Amino acid sequence: MTSRSVMVIGAGIGGIATAVHLARRGTHVTVFEKNQRPGGRCDHFSRDGHRFDTGPTLLIMPEVYEAEFAALGVCLHDALDLRRVDPTYHLVFDDGCQLALTSDMKSMCTQLENFEPGSFQGFLQYMAEGQRHYTLAMDHLVTRDFRTASEFFNLGNLPLLYRLKPLTPHYRHMAAYFTEPRLKAAFTFQDVYMGLSPFEAPATFSMMPYTELAHGVWYPHGGMSQVVDVLMDMARQSGVEFVFDTPVERIEVNGTSAQGVVLEDGHRLAADAVVANADLPYVYRHLLPEEDLADRMEHKRFSCSVISFFWGVDKPYPALEPHTLFLTDHYQENFERISRCLPLPENPCLYIHAPSRLDPSAAPAGEDTLIAIVPVGHLDETGEQDWCRIRDQARQAVFDRLAILGITDLEAHLKFEVNYTPLSWRKRYNLMKGSTHGLSHTLTQLGYLRPHNRHPRYQNVYFVGASTHPGTGVPTALVSARLAANRVMDDLGSGRFGAA
């Protein structure tokens, strides 16, 4: 019997992992990637001895990685040299007060009680709720493929409306555990990982601070790009073919099925199925013909974007820990401006990563490698945002915030700067609106209500990645890949569609 052929568009985490699953089940897989190297948003570059991750900078939800690597036939801890980061983050507030989030409960008790007497008990209760939310969400939402409405909307899932608190805004829910606004901020900023404001995100996402403290935040030696390298090794060993520097012009369709893909140079290539790992709204708008479906996709809620600065520095700054977050007292205003694509506030929340604290090879001896990330709104409909001005404001905000830690000379010690704005994210990775996390995770864009991993009309066109179920992030991309691959193989095995 002739091997079935599948073409994957995009060599992001989800695309590579899907290819591995399919190839190991006897399918001939070819992956087309528009850029020079794999990884998608989990990208990296080096310059003058400084190494930068341009996307994710930490590994969270390790239990998901372990399960998904095992599904690919590999032990996570054999494949990656992982170091636990504890404290996970150092939080810095406007008045200079700091909070180190750590799994050391004695340290957490002392720190929290200094902020608000009695708050440690609130923290323990919040963590207990986070554990419940994590277990329920993983078992009933994240790892399940909702192929029909009845699999999601049923009496068995009805208790989740109460148990997961999806109708309660996360920040408002924090009043049950803390009075101090800074502590409410300290345990809700993780919602930005979902591309959401804590004032809109469901309280379900208490699962994120729980998993970070209970299961750990980790760093792979060599950076997050090592995850990509391991997946690429698996893919090549499984016989997956990769074609880089090759944009796909469109998915060729006829009736209710895809015939294959047309490359930018005009070449037509036939396939039994097509899996798109490119940004989902981009696929609907540019690679498929239905304008109405593309319009509907663009009217969904998109996540925020970020401005990222990558700095090679000629001296070390030991005052900076591996992961430092500056959280503003004007927390709600900060997120309202992001959600509404308004100008930056005077003191925005921002994040600084110093990878050489965890891996000295990330910077030359006696120097430093720093990454600063400032969340911002995505590209608006008018196209009138002045991103050069906003970028300069964001850069100055980073310098101003660093002064809280006594760092006042960073600008004078920069060897070079590379920066990404929402325009960069759109150009490099075809991210619609420059939204770095794809579609946001509002209540109406979760579970069965999130875009599915198979096209509603073209029955052999599949989707994997941030904007499909279960959602954004590297661990969920691995889940998305397994679910999509299972669906492809189920359809191929059932004879839903014939050979192209």
Q: Helix, strand, or coil here: 461?
A: strand
> Distance between CA 403 and CA 413 in Å, rounded?
15
> Distance between CA 57 and CA 22 in Å, rounded?
28
What does the pLDDT read at residue 1?
Answer: 45
Of 202, 207, 219, nearest in space to 65 by CA: 219
250-278: burial string, b at 16+ Cβ within 10 Å, e else: ebbbeeebbbbbbeeeeeebebbbbbbbb
Q: Hey, what are 76's tokens?
A: 């996570």
What stretch of H or E contains 309?
strand 305-313
> Distance between CA 307 and CA 251 in Å, rounded?
32
The interaxial angle of helices 13-23 and 225-237, nearest 10 deg, is: 20
Digitized pLDDT (tens) for each residue of the chain, 500 residues in all: 467 999 999 999 999 999 999 999 999 999 999 999 999 999 999 999 999 999 999 999 999 999 999 999 999 999 999 999 999 999 999 999 999 999 999 999 999 999 999 999 999 999 999 999 999 999 999 999 999 988 899 888 888 888 999 999 999 999 999 999 999 999 999 998 888 899 999 999 999 999 999 999 999 999 999 999 999 999 999 999 999 999 999 999 999 999 999 999 999 999 999 999 999 999 999 999 988 999 999 999 999 999 999 999 999 999 999 999 999 999 999 999 998 888 898 899 999 999 999 999 999 999 999 999 999 999 987 778 999 999 999 999 999 999 999 999 999 999 999 999 999 999 999 999 999 999 999 889 999 999 999 999 999 999 999 999 999 999 999 999 999 999 999 999 877 654 43
Q: Hey, what are 90's tokens?
A: 């150092």
> Distance between CA 396 and CA 338 in Å, rounded?
18
Are 79 and 226 in contact by the 8 Å Cβ rule? The answer is: no
> Distance between CA 497 and CA 264 in Å, rounded?
26
> Distance between CA 433 and CA 69 in Å, rounded?
32
Q: Side-chain half-sphere of 176: how many Cα atoms within 13 Å?
A: 14
> Distance between CA 226 and CA 63 in Å, rounded?
18
> Distance between CA 125 and CA 107 in Å, rounded?
17
Q: Is the dihedral of CA 257, 261, 262, 264 positive or negative?
A: positive
Q: Which residues contact 388 (CB under 8 A, 6 or more apart)?
A: none
pTM more than 0.85: yes
> Distance between CA 129 and CA 451 in Å, rounded?
28
Are 197 and 335 in contact by the 8 Å Cβ rule? The answer is: yes
Q: Which residues contact 302 (CB under 8 A, 6 or more apart)?
A: 195, 281, 378, 432, 433, 435, 438, 439, 440
Q: Hey, what are 176's tokens?
A: 């049950």
Are 325 and 89 in contact by the 8 Å Cβ rule? The answer is: yes
Are 86 and 321 in contact by the 8 Å Cβ rule? The answer is: no
Rg (CA), the chain: 22
Q: Hey, what are 466's tokens?
A: 């941030």
How many other C-beta atoms can be found within 10 angstroms of the C-beta atom of residue 69? 22
Of 111, 110, 108, 88, nearest in space to 98 by CA: 111
What does the pLDDT read at residue 341?
Answer: 86
What does the pLDDT read at residue 499?
Answer: 42
Using alpha carbons, list the distances in angstroms from residue 347 to 95, 286, 313, 389: 12, 38, 24, 16
Q: Helix, strand, or coil here: 395?
A: helix
Are 65 and 479 in contact by the 8 Å Cβ rule? The answer is: no
What does the pLDDT read at residue 381?
Answer: 79
